[in-house]
Amino acid sequence: MDEKIFAKKDIGKLLEELVPEYKFYSPTKIKGNIAFKEITDVKEIELDYLNSKVPPKDVLFPQKEIIFEYRYEGKDVIIEERKDLEDKILIFGVRPCDAYSFKLLEDFFASGDFQDDIFLKKRENATIIGLGCNSPRQSCFCTSVGGHPFQKESTDVFLSDLGDTYLVEAISEKGENLLKKLSWLADAKKADIEKSKELAKQAEESITTKFDFDLVTKVLDENFEHPVWQEISESCIGCSSCTFLCPTCTCFDVLDENDEYNNRGRRIRIWDTCQSCLYTLETSGHNPRPAKIQRCRNRIMHKFSYYPSNYDCLGCVGCGRCITACPVNNELRLIIDKILEIQEKNGEKVSA
Amino acid sequence: MTEEVVESKQDGSKKWEPKIIAFLCNWCSYAGADLAGVSRIQYPPNIRIVRVPCSGRINAYFIIKSLTDGWDGVLISGCHPGDCHYISGNLVARRRFAILKELLEFFGIEPGRVNFMWASAAEGERFAVLVRKATEIVKKLGPNTKFEKKW
Amino acid sequence: MGLETENKDIETNLREVAKGLLKDKKVDVIIGYMEGTLPMLSQPIIIDSEEDVDKLIWNNLCYVNLAKYLVPRVPKFVDSEKGNLKVGVVSKGCVGRALIHLASENKIKLDEIKIIGIPCNGVVNRQRIEMEIGEKEILEVSVSGNNVIVKGKDFEKEFPFDEYMNDLCKTCKIRKPPLVSKSPDLCVGECEEYSNIVDDFSDIAEFEALTPEEKWNQITEELSVCTRCYACREACPMCYCNLCFVDQNKPVWFGKTTDLPDVFVYHLIRAMHMAGRCVACGACSLVCPMGIDLNKINRKLEKIVKERFDFTSGLDPDVLPPMVDFKMEDAQEFMLEED
């Protein structure tokens, strides 16, 4: 592997070289929160951060997205499809958990007979530059879901933060081509690579939350109607913060916006949440999930039971955003503990 | 909303004219407007009238939706307090208007975009005077561009 | 008296009262707060036995308005044998006000609850502290003297509580739940009678003096990060409509997108619906995942109903809220008049 190195202060050079070809997205500070936004000015880039509030799925699957626009011309209706799906996108500084979430999103939008072109085209044209986590949070648990604070597989180029410099490794073909263009990058020394490995080891050891999710899936599959769900959903207020900040949540609502005065309109999609009592309300008036307990249970089952059944992998990347966002502290780790207790009560030993 | 640009017949100069939506209660204000018309009292043509049974029918949604749709001004007119055809509809409305007016001002929407008035069925002249006043106020504020969406 | 001692006293008294209520079977369950798993957070807890009473805590991180758990749309405390359970609610002033106001709107029955009053000394403005600490993980929060001490892996910072408490707590005049003369058994613990509340609303005077353009700019800037998750609506005890106005589709009144006009209108109309009902608990701002501050708006709502109708929400379950009442003499200085 030809690892390269570049100094953090040269980030402006990187931006300058890439901006003409790519839409450059990087972490930036907006009203005190870190967010991934399109950057044109190097001063806006924020390199000292833990993770963004809203996950980078927002770049490829935004909160509000136009599906198509239409307008009337006389008696004709002209439909205008999206023209910007072929634009090249570069997302800088994605943590490994969020990078892995892009794979889960791809699985979702590409499955079945109808592929979601809007997301998939953007994903195809997107280059992910990942960044390893030197200090995972208390609420992080990527190692329990098959991830790692320095996991490189889902990125195109992987960076390790060595202090004043980044160690740069090309992971995919897209990444290799990108690095070839950046010919000014210096070669990395052996010491740099060793330091990166050391940081990866330290980061892995600092993660305190560990769960055996294979066991969790098994217990969930067998206990859909267990009374523990009453206890789990008691304090939930249905605020949907967890679903809005989750990197793998994909539910959306489709709306039509009409601008009658100007003879035009558009179809848009916005994020929706399974935690809303209206989510499953049918036109007939029947609601399969009228009670909060059913909605709370649905979210957990979706991530840890339905995803393994349908996609052969867990639907959670261990980023911990839902844990820090929940206003009533009804956090995932407590929920998993309660679920695993069912097994314990049945006499089997569990490790949690 | 399409911009209303009116060409003056005198010298051909073009001027922006505000578009004001007016919710008039059926029993007093609408009849008052009718009387103004029958008496040939001139008042600005900027208002577009929507007839409602009572000023108490006015929901905040009507007013806010008018602003978001691009109307430059909103005018609501009802019977004088004590004279409501439905006894207390306008009294209920008056409280709503008070709160809405203060909240709109607090949120930064220019006071003057939304106006409320009382006009009875016999007050054709008063109706015309107040509509003229409201139109002048809105004209000074200029077009309502705050709620335009990017297309 | 420092915060530590204050909180300890409140906790001790609270646990004693709670124990007594459960022992004498005056309530079936008690909702209160317990220690959170992360610093900066507390959890609501429902206990039904005396042994669990020591789990109840009071610290300045108890944000959630517990009255939310009693509104319609949320499962009632119902037991298959006993029917409706009698619930004791650990109440700061604003929680007590919320319960009483809900009773005035006929949404809960006061004889099915007990308000366990505590003399609230304010809650921490968690978003402000997190923003100032920046991108470093907070590992421990404690109080000492009149300061909130925040520790991380390689930092320790002190924040004066008077400055860093939630803005609404700074101007709060109703720190203990109000006594209801009609229901003398309703309130246990520390409650107070409020007869004449004086509030000059000087904290929002500076904002009110700005020009409309400046007000618009400040408010839209604050609301610009809204993701329309509706956490504010779900945390508010007064938002209990079966179909919220944003979800209506016959007709569609306002957009549900994150475009600025749609976001602005959502918060404007929600504020309008809160007039005369908001109890200024601050839960809406404190649960917002993006850290939006709605405190000024809530203060303005309180000001409007106090100055126009001499009304403060949540003091008396028999007084009609101002939006369902009217008087011939209501002020109408805002009406257009002939010169």
Q: Among the three residues A166, A183, A206, which one is the final residue of a domain in this structure?
A: A206
Best residue of C29, C35, C37 to probe chain A, by most A CBs closer than 10 Å: C37
- Name the pLDDT band for B25 (thresholds 50, 70, 90): very high
User: Is B6 within a domain?
Assistant: no
Q: What is the pLDDT of residues A33-70, one digit of tens each?
A: 999 999 999 999 998 899 999 999 999 999 999 999 99
CB-based contact C38 A268, cutoff 8 Å: no
Same domain, A147 and A78: yes
Closest residue in C to A27 (Cα–Cα) = C135
Same domain, A193 and A236: no
DSSP state of A138: T
Number of structural domains in chain B: 1
Q: What is the pLDDT of residue A304?
A: 94
Count the neighbouring beta carbons within 10 Å of the beta carbon of residue C253.
18
User: Is A350 within a domain?
Assistant: no
The amino acid at A99: A
Q: Is the pTM of this model over 0.80?
A: yes
- For residue B119, the enclosing domain spans 22-139
Q: What is the pLDDT of residue A343?
A: 82
Q: Which residues of C touch A269 (CB under 8 A)?
A: none
Q: C154 vs A162, A165, A207, C208, CA distance in Å? A: 18, 21, 17, 42
User: Is B121 within a domain?
Assistant: yes
Q: Which residues of C touch A32 (CB under 8 A)?
A: 127, 130-131, 291
User: Is B7 within a domain?
Assistant: no
DSSP state of C52: G
Same domain, A217 and A315: yes
Minimal Cβ distance to C338: which of B95, B99, B130: B130
Q: Are C148 and C161 in contact (CB under 8 A)?
A: yes
What ipTM goes with this model?
0.93
Minimal Cβ distance to C261: which of B68, B101, B133: B68
Best residue of C272, C277, C329, C337 to probe chain B, by most B CBs closer than 10 Å: C272
Q: What is the pLDDT of residue B148?
A: 87
Order of all β-strands in the sheet with A252-259? A76-81, A64-73, A264-271, A252-259
Q: Which residues contact A235 (CB under 8 A, 6 or more apart)?
A: A328, A329, A330, C43, C44, C45, C46, C69
Number of structural domains in chain A: 2
Cross-strand pairs, C142:
C149
Would the pLDDT of B11 be above 90? no
How wide is the angle at C-alpha A86 spanned by C-alphas A82 and A88, nearest 5°? Answer: 130
Closest residue in A to C41 (Cα–Cα) = A329
Q: Which of C45, C51, C55 is nearest to C23 (CA)?
A: C51
End-to-end CA distance of chain A: 38
Count the neighbouring beta carbons within 10 Å of the beta carbon of residue C330.
16
Using left for φ > 0, alpha for ψ between -120 and 50, and beta otherwise, residue A197 falls in alpha
Count the neighbouring beta carbons within 10 Å of the beta carbon of residue C321.
17
Host H or E run for residue B29: helix B29-38
Would the pLDDT of A73 be above 70? yes
DSSP letters, C89-121, are: EEE-HHHHHHHHHHHHTTSS-GGGEEEEE----
The amino acid at C30: I
C320 vs B: CB within 8 A? no
Q: What is the pLDDT of residue A351?
A: 46
Q: Which chains touch A (3 or more CB pairs under 8 A)?
A: B, C
Which tokens belong to A317?
């990347």
Host H or E run for residue B131: helix B124-141
What averages of pLDDT result for each successive group of 10 residues across chain C (339 residues)? Answer: 88 94 92 92 92 93 92 71 86 94 92 92 92 91 92 93 93 93 89 89 94 95 93 93 90 91 95 94 92 94 94 93 92 91
User: Is A263 within a domain?
Assistant: yes
- Name the pLDDT band for B135 (thresholds 50, 70, 90): very high
Place of tokens 């749309």: C73
Host H or E run for residue A213: helix A213-222
As a whole number of angstroms, the distance between CA C179 and CA A305 comes to: 50
Q: Which residues of A touch C37 (CB under 8 A)?
A: 329, 331, 333-334
C244 vs B: CB within 8 A? no
Distance between B43 CA and the closest CA of chain C, angstroms? 14
User: Is B151 within a domain?
Assistant: no
Q: Which of C309, C288, C285, C314 is nearest to C297 (CA)?
A: C285
Which tokens belong to B49?
């009238």
User: Is B54 within a domain?
Assistant: yes
As a whole number of angstroms, the distance between CA A322 and CA A244 comes to: 9
Helix (H, G, I), strand (E, B) or coil at C71: coil
Q: Among the three residues A187, A206, A225, which one is the final residue of a domain in this structure?
A: A206
Q: Are A15 and A175 in contact (CB under 8 A)?
A: no
A74-85 average pLDDT score: 92
CB-based burial label for B36 (10 Å; 0-12, 13-18, 19+): buried
CB-based contact C257 A31, cutoff 8 Å: no
Same domain, A169 and A301: no
- For residue A278, the enclosing domain spans 213-345
Q: Which residues contact C175 (CB under 8 A, 6 or more apart)?
A: C92, C93, C119, C120, C121
User: Is A141 within a domain?
Assistant: yes
Q: What is the pLDDT of residue A1?
A: 53
Phi, psi angles (nearest 5°) of residue B116: -125, 145
Closest residue in A to C137 (Cα–Cα) = A137
Same domain, A53 and A181: yes
User: Is A352 within a domain?
Assistant: no
Place of tokens 């990395």: A188
Same domain, A245 and A109: no
Q: What is the pLDDT of residues A171-201, one digit of tens each?
A: 999 999 999 988 889 999 999 999 999 999 9
Q: What is the pLDDT of residue A322?
A: 94
As a whole number of angstroms, the distance between CA C60 and CA C155 comes to: 21
Q: Are A88 and A125 in contact (CB under 8 A)?
A: yes
Q: Which residues contact A317 (CB under 8 A, 6 or more apart)?
A: A97, A98, A100, A101, A104, A142, A145, A147, A247, A248
CA dihedral A242→A243→A244→A245, nearest 10 degrees, is 50
Q: Which residues of B44-64 are buried (b: 16+ CB within 10 A; e: fewer)?
A: bebbeeeebebbbebebbbbb
Host H or E run for residue B61: helix B60-69
Q: Which residues contact A335 (CB under 8 A, 6 or more apart)?
A: A232, A300
CB-based contact C258 A64, cutoff 8 Å: yes
Q: What is the pLDDT of residue C73?
A: 62
Same domain, A22 and A138: yes
Same domain, A249 and A177: no
Distance between A50 CA and the closest CA of chain C, angstroms? 6
User: Is B13 within a domain?
Assistant: no
Q: Are A246 and A302 in contact (CB under 8 A)?
A: no
User: Is B15 within a domain?
Assistant: no
Same domain, A233 and A195: no
Show the beta-strand stretches assigned E in chain A: 4-7, 23-30, 33-38, 64-73, 76-81, 89-94, 126-131, 157-161, 165-170, 186-187, 252-259, 264-271
- Count each helix (H run) and each strand (E run) in chain C, helices first: 11, 10
CB-based contact B108 C275, cutoff 8 Å: no
Q: What is the pLDDT of residues A134-160, one digit of tens each?
A: 999 999 999 999 999 999 999 999 999
Q: Among the three residues A186, A206, A226, which one is the final residue of a domain in this structure?
A: A206
Q: Which residues of C touch B116 (CB under 8 A)?
A: 334-336
Q: Are C140 and C151 in contact (CB under 8 A)?
A: yes
C220 vs B: CB within 8 A? yes
Same domain, A201 and A232: no
- Count each helix (H run) and each strand (E run) in chain B, helices first: 4, 6
DSSP state of A143: G
User: Is A351 within a domain?
Assistant: no
Same domain, A20 and A149: yes
User: Is B8 within a domain?
Assistant: no
